[in-house]
Structure 1
Amino acid sequence: MDRRVLLLALATFVTGTAENIVIGILPDIAGGLGVSIGLAGQLTAVFSITFALAAPAALLLTARLERKAAFVAALAAFVLCNLLAAASPGYSVLFVARVGMAAASATIALLATMLATELVDESMKGRAIGVIFMGVSGSLVLGVPIGMLVCSLAGWRSVFLALAALAVVVLIVCRLKLPDVGARRQGTPDYLAHLRSRPLVCAQLVSILMISGHFVLFAYLAPYLGGVLGIAGTGIVLAFIAFGVAGVSGGYLGGLTADKLTPRRAIVLVPLGYLTAVMLIPLAAGTSLSFFPVMMVWACLSWMISPAVQSFLIAMGPDTAEAGVSLNLSAMHIGVGLGTALGGVAVERVPISSLPGIGAILAAMALMMAMLAYRGAGRRAGLAV
């Protein structure tokens, strides 16, 4: 594996921390700004929705730019937005800062993913994508727990200052180490051709539905742990660390599964395993001893889906690969936004213990779309279905 892929993953680690940190410090932001938990949770939702809208636009806007320059410029914009978040006098300014942060993150994630696939051989593309997503999942192992610790020591605003400082370091290293790679290799991205392919559209729906089902619970994991298992304080930090460790392995395993078993099989096997895991969560919620292993399997499978789907999009639609990846980044974050918003509504109306059940319904729908993608891709390639 080209070491420069790890550098690209470091950038997604920073942006992943920015996206997910609100989940870990939700009560502190809500208390500091004088808003409800549900309203504070929408700071994650707006990040994801903005990311979803910005990813296709980022592909178009950076089409004629040298990719390294565009990548570094996006990191600089990310730094400025985190400084604005740290200085925000109220909820509305923090909301705007999250919008800018998300747009910069979309550009960073898109360029990192496509650059990673160009730096490796054909047989390693799935794992290269997996390494990029290990950066995001790795933010849960280190970024979110450390952010929670920083918050407990110096307040939630200091978390955004720390993110800005870390992003500056990443920017400098990327500027020095990444090669000048020129503009995009493909012509104008053909979104319509991608969307006319039923298997590729079904694959995009797999991401939306499965990630929605995941974030229904994950976005409110801290209050779920407190309300259902009675875990608080250090226990919640340890839970996020355990979740993140499993998630990091999932990012790589998703790419490895696609490389070894073919993307067509991976896109079905991962949602099937995920549905099984999320259905086991209520059964394991009696004690921490039974819950933590199931939670880690759930976490691992949740991070396997993005490398599996993106490998499927590249393998089954090579002529629209860049359009497919940019739309999939949108699909992922539509899923995050929908799941977070749905979970926010649910925690106000039903017992928080109901969240895994809602997630399982969405995961079952994702599995149905995965089976349609599998069959459609088989017919298209003339394979047995």
Structure 2
Amino acid sequence: MDLRIFLLALATFATGTAENIVIGILPDVASGLDISIGLAGQLTAAFSITFALAAPLALFMATRLERRTMLGLALLVFLASNLLAAASASYAVLFVARIGMAAASAAACLVATMLATELAGPAMRGRAIGIIFMGISGSMVLGVPAGMLIGGHFGWRAVFVALALLAVAVFLICQRTLPTVGHGRPTASGYRQHLRSLPLVAAQSVSILMIGGHFMLFAYLAPYLTEVVGVAPGNVVLFFLAFGIAGVCGGYCGGWLADGVGPRFAIVATPLAYLVALLAIPFAAEIPGLFIIAMMIWAMISWMISPVVQSFLIATGPQTAEAGVGLNLSAMHVGVGLGTALGGSALAWLPLQSLPWLGGLLAAAAVTAAFVAVHRSAQTWITQPDL
């Protein structure tokens, strides 16, 4: 495996921390800005929706800019947005800063994924994508718990200062280490061809629905842990640490599964296993020791889906692979925004205990979409040459 892929994962680690950190410091942000938990949770939804809209635009930019240059520009925008967040005096300013972070993160993740697949080659493509997403899930292991500790000692604004410093370090390392590479391919026709293929659209739906079901609970995991499971507030960071460790394993396991048994099998098996794991959460909630095991299984499977779906998209529609990856990054964050928004809305009417069951409905729909993708891909397999 090319070591430069791990460097690209460092960039996604930084941006992944920015996306997920509000989840870990949700009560502090809410009290600091004098807003409700539900409204503070929408900062994650805003990030995800912006990411979803920005990813296709970033792919168009990739046809005009050299990729290392594009990654550097994205990291600079990310730096400026975090400094704005640290200085924000109101919810509106923080909201705008989150939009800037999300747009920069979309560009960084897109470039990192495309470069990783090129550096790895077809035989290890799934694992390369898995390593990129290990950077994102790794942010749950180190980034979010570290942010919670920083926020606990220095206040939630210091978390964004720390992210800005991390962006500076990643920028300098990438500029010195990554190779100069060409532009991406023109994508307008690729988008049209991709969206006309039912198997590919169904696969994109798997990402939206499964991740949406995941974030209905995960976006509100901190209050779920304290109010439903009965975890002491001081121990919540340990549960997030365990979640992150499992997530890192899941990112690589998803790539390994796609490479080992094929993406067509993996895209069905993963959401099906996830549905079972999610529905086990309420039954384990009364025993914290059992809950942490169930939570780690749930976390691991949740992070498997991205390399699995992207491997399926590349294998099934190789000629539209770059468009497929860009759209999948959007689909993932549509799922994050959908789940976070639905979860926040549900909490206005229903107790926290309902979130796993509501998320299970979306996960069940993801299983159905996976069967459609596999069944139709067997009938309408795209035969263009691979990348």
| TM band (smaller chain) | over 0.9
1:273 partnered with 2:300: no
1:53 partnered with 2:53: yes
Letter of the aligned partner of 2:222 in structure 1? A
Q: Percent identity?
A: 63
Query: 2:181 is paired with a residue of what secondary structure?
Result: coil
Specify the alignment match of 1:284 in structure 2.
Answer: 284
Specify the alignment match of 2:125 in structure 1.
Answer: 125
In the alignment, the residues of structure 2 paired with residue 52 and residue 188 of structure 1 have an alpha-carbon distance, to the nearest angstrom, of 17
Query: 1:190 is paired with a residue of what secondary structure?
Result: helix
- Cα drift, residue 143 of structure 1: 0.2
- Cα drift, residue 188 of structure 1: 4.9
- CA deviations on 1:1-56 (whole Å, 9 max, x unpaired) are 10000000000000000000000000000000011111010000000000000000
- CA deviations on 1:35-79 (whole Å, 9 max, x unpaired) are 111101000000000000000011112211111101111101100
Specify the alignment match of 2:299 in structure 1.
Answer: 299
Which 5+ residue runs of structure 1 have no aligned equivalent?
none
Query: 1:35 is paired with a residue of what secondary structure?
Result: coil
Letter of the aligned partner of 2:27 in structure 1? P
- CA deviations on 1:63-107 (whole Å, 9 max, x unpaired) are 111111011111011000000000011100000000011000000
Aligned 8 A contact 1:193 1:320 in 2: yes
Could you list the runs of 4 or more consecutive aligned residues of structure 1 that deviate by over 6 angstroms after TM superposition? none
Aligned 8 A contact 1:137 1:251 in 2: yes
Letter of the aligned partner of 1:311 in structure 2? S
Q: 1:260 to 1:233 in 2, by over 3 A?
A: same
In the alignment, the residues of structure 2 paired with residue 354 and residue 292 of structure 1 have an alpha-carbon distance, to the nearest angstrom, of 19
1:309 partnered with 2:334: no
Aligned 8 A contact 1:278 1:298 in 2: yes
- Cα drift, residue 187 of structure 1: 5.9
In the alignment, the residues of structure 2 paired with residue 279 and residue 5 of structure 1 have an alpha-carbon distance, to the nearest angstrom, of 35
1:139 partnered with 2:139: yes
Letter of the aligned partner of 2:277 in structure 1? A
Aligned 8 A contact 1:254 1:307 in 2: yes
Query: 2:347 is paired with a residue of what secondary structure?
Result: helix
- Cα drift, residue 167 of structure 1: 0.6
In the alignment, the residues of structure 1 paired with residue 362 and residue 209 of structure 2 have an alpha-carbon distance, to the nearest angstrom, of 6
After the TM superposition, which residues 169-318 of structure 1 pair with which residues of structure 2 at under 5 Å, given as runs? 169-185=169-185, 188=188, 190-318=190-318
In the alignment, the residues of structure 1 paired with residue 70 and residue 121 of structure 2 have an alpha-carbon distance, to the nearest angstrom, of 24
- Cα drift, residue 185 of structure 1: 4.5
- Cα drift, residue 379 of structure 1: 1.4
1:166 partnered with 2:166: yes
Aligned 8 A contact 1:63 1:184 in 2: yes
After the TM superposition, which residues 6-155 of structure 1 pair with which residues of structure 2 at under 5 Å, given as runs? 6-155=6-155
Aligned 8 A contact 1:17 1:143 in 2: yes
Q: 1:146 to 1:321 in 2, by over 3 A?
A: same
Letter of the aligned partner of 1:44 in structure 2? T
Which deviates further from its counterpart, 135-144 or 57-66?
A: 57-66
Normalising to structure 1: TM-score of the pair? 0.98
- Cα drift, residue 332 of structure 1: 0.3
Letter of the aligned partner of 2:145 in structure 1? P
- Cα drift, residue 186 of structure 1: 5.6
- Cα drift, residue 378 of structure 1: 1.3
Aligned 8 A contact 1:189 1:323 in 2: no
RMSD, matched Cα: 1.2
Aligned 8 A contact 1:60 1:189 in 2: no
Which deviates further from its counterpart, 325-334 or 373-382?
A: 373-382
Aligned 8 A contact 1:219 1:340 in 2: yes
